[in-house]
Structure 1
Amino acid sequence: MREHAPGNDPRTGDGHASADLIARYAAGDDLPADRLWAVEAHLETCGLCRLRLADAAPPPVTALTEAVWADLDPPGTPAPHRRPLARWAPPALVPWFAMTTFVVLLALLVDLVAPSGVTASAVLLLAPVVPLLGVAGAWSRSLDPAYELVVSTPRAGLRLLLRRTFAVLVVVLPVLLAAGWLTGASPAYWLLPCLAVTSVTLALGSVLGVRRAAITTASLWAALVVGPAVVLGGVPGVLAPGAAPLWAAALTGGAAAVFFRSAAYARS
């Protein structure tokens, strides 16, 4: 077994980064790549070492960090309380959450005021692609003011994208469930297609970029499913219970493509 040379391990005996390494990292010294990535990964999970890093940071870095947080959050919000939430849903996603909820409520209103039997339920037609509104903003340079800071961390890429996509689904799915209950659009029709479309969009995002993939998928859905359903009426065949095996296959295939192309998300 190969012995490690002294100083290769960035942690002390208590499992934390050494004071010398924290000081060199804060000063921007040229560290070996393995030690640099190791200390950054440790800092992301260790609150104590982040506090030590904050104390060791040069005044210009501290001023820049405070200025960034001041732009991201309302005044008076303590930074330690907002950072864990920002790992899942940064402030840039809040308007997208609001817009997604508004779209669901608008579809609900259409279903409540439209004569029954005229067309398929608007909630049912839009449910599979509504989460894409949030997914489009989950990993976008133009929509996240902290983008440059985020992508410089060692865990940026697929892991962060999945966190933010999960946050979108946590917000959107309960709203869709409530709207479906009010209009009779059972989740048996739209839940599996919703997850499958999201999975396929993330897979396509490894090639096109997530925002472009979301726009492309939503546009195809509007042209191939929503448009014909509005014209012909009734529940589209792709949303019938018999299509569940196809959606399950799409969900599995999309998830597999995301897994095997995980490295592409760090470059996109």
Structure 2
Amino acid sequence: MSTHLPAGSLAAYAAGDPALDDTALWTIEVHLENCADCRAHLADLVPPPLTALLDEVQVMIDRGVRTGPEPDPGSAWRRLAHRWVAWEVLPWLVTICAAVVAAFALDRTFPQRPSMVLLLAPVAPLAGMLVAWSRRTDPGWEIVAGTARAGLELLLRRTTVILAVVLPPLALAGWSLRMSPALWLLPALTFTAATLLLGGRIGVVPAASILSGAWFLAVVTPAVVTSDIPVLIEPASAPGWAVAAVAGTALAIWRAGDHRRVTPR
């Protein structure tokens, strides 16, 4: 190629001649990037209507950059909501609350059997955590997985929301059945802390699945089959649950940094 582009090539480029193939277009554009004289010559070849249109577009872009977008009054609330909860978990939280109501109805109908409310309480928050932290249900999983600090903060926010939704129906059921709050609150907090602690090593979803499965296999299933009240939900177990809840919470806080190296499963 000569020092400057031929006048015919520039004219064809300015007119958008379909005869120019991709190689010719690429050659012309590479030259224009480094040659001010050819760019000036090209500007003289641009039809006046197109020049006017480009000037109008530039003015509109400049005005938009200076003024910025129109404020959305609902955007602040949406951002706040997205920082605290994934909408996909809401149906599951409703399901958990419905399960608590069903357990309460069973306890009222069969008072002689082991309390289903107490058997459900330890793992009720875990179901919400399992869904809220799953890559299959969280549309923002890629962002969370790629931003370690944001992932940890988001995990703690969502756990807080899940507890805030799950604990009130448990409290209402326990109060109606005249149960000690320690018998349903402490196990729920213990298993939540254990999930956060174990989740820092293997992921929240596997941790919630393992702990829930172990509780159902070791405690819930035998209690339902034999109708014997497990020792773990009797009033005498409250001090043990208190120690476990405090120790689990302290360990989860101490090992909170583990979640910055583990992505959601």
Q: Under TM normalisation by the shorter chain, which class is it?
A: 0.5 to 0.7
Query: Which residue of 257, 262, 266 corresponds with 2:251?
Result: 257
Give the corresponding residue for 1:239.
Answer: 233
Q: Are 1:180 and 1:187, in contact at CA under 8 Å, matched by a contact in 2?
A: yes
**Which residue of structure 1 aligns with residue 94 of structure 2?**
98
* Counterparts in 2 of 1:162 and 1:222: CA distance versus 1, 3 Å: same
* Structure 2 counterpart of 1:181, one-letter code: W
Task: In structure 1, list runs of 5 or more residues that go unmatched.
Answer: 1-54, 57-61, 63-75
The structure with the larger Rg is 2
- Are 1:200 and 1:250, in contact at CA under 8 Å, matched by a contact in 2? no
- Return the offset for 1:253: 2.8
Q: Deviations over 1:40-98 (max 9, x none)?
A: xxxxxxxxxxxxxxx87xxxxx9xxxxxxxxxxxxx99322211122111212212211
Find the partner of 2:222 among 209, 228, 231.
Answer: 228
Q: Which residues of 2 match residues 173-192 of structure 1 at below 5 A?
A: 173-192=167-186
Code of the aligned partner of 1:207: R
* Letter aligned with residue 76 of structure 2: P
Q: Secondary structure at the match of 1:141?
A: coil
> In angstroms, what is the RMSD of aligned CA positions?
2.4
Q: In the superposition, relative to structure 1, how do residues 234 and 105 fare at CA in structure 2: closer, same or farther (>3 Å)?
A: same
Mapped pair 1:113 → 2:112: no
Partner residue in 1 for 2:42: none
Displacement after TM superposition at 1:265 (Å): 0.9
Q: Which consecutive segments of 4 or more residues in structure 1 shift more than 4 A?
A: none
Partner of 2:199: 205
Q: Which structure is higher in helix share? A: 2
Q: Deviations over 1:7-46 (max 9, x none)?
A: xxxxxxxxxxxxxxxxxxxxxxxxxxxxxxxxxxxxxxxx
1:192 Cα offset (Å): 0.9
The answer to whether the aligner puts 1:85 opposite 2:89 as a matched pair is no
Match of 1:122 among 116, 124, 133: 116
The 2-side partners of 1:220 and 1:131 are apart by 15
Using a 3 Å threshold, how does the CA distance of structure 1 residues 228 and 87 change in structure 2: closer, same or farther? same
Please state whether the residue corresponding to 1:87 is helix, strand or coil: helix
Pairwise CA distance, 1:215: 1.1
Quick one: structure 1 residues 86 and 164, their matched pair in 2 at CA, closer, same or farther if it must change by over 3 Å? same
Q: Given that residues 100 and 172 in structure 1 are in contact (C-alpha distance below 8 angstroms), is that contact kept between their aligned partners in structure 2?
A: yes
Contact 1:123–1:185 (CA under 8 A) maintained in structure 2:
no
Q: 1:234 to 1:188 in 2, by over 3 A?
A: farther
Structure 2: how far apart are the matches of 1:136 and 1:217?
11
Equivalent residue of 1:128, what SS? helix
Alignment of 1:15-34 (within 5 A): none
Percent of aligned pairs with the same amino acid: 43
Q: Distance in 1 between matches of 2:105 and 2:239?
A: 31
**Mapping 1:120-199, distance limit 5 Å:** 120-153=114-147, 155-199=149-193
SS of the residue aligned with 2:122? coil
The residue type paired with residue 251 of structure 2 is A
TM-score (ref. length: structure 2)? 0.66
Q: Which range is displaced more, 152-161 or 141-150? A: 152-161
Is the 1:124–1:185 contact (alpha carbons within 8 Å) kept by the matching residues of 2? no
Q: Which letter does structure 1 place at the counterpart of 2:138?
A: D
Q: CA 1:133 to 1:245, structure 2 compared with 1: closer, same or farther past 3 Å?
A: same
Write the distance in 2 (CA, Å) between the matches of 1:255 and 1:178. 24
Aligned counterparts of 2:186 and 2:127: Cα–Cα separation in 1: 18
Query: Is the 2:174–2:184 Cα contact (8 Å) retained in structure 1?
Result: no
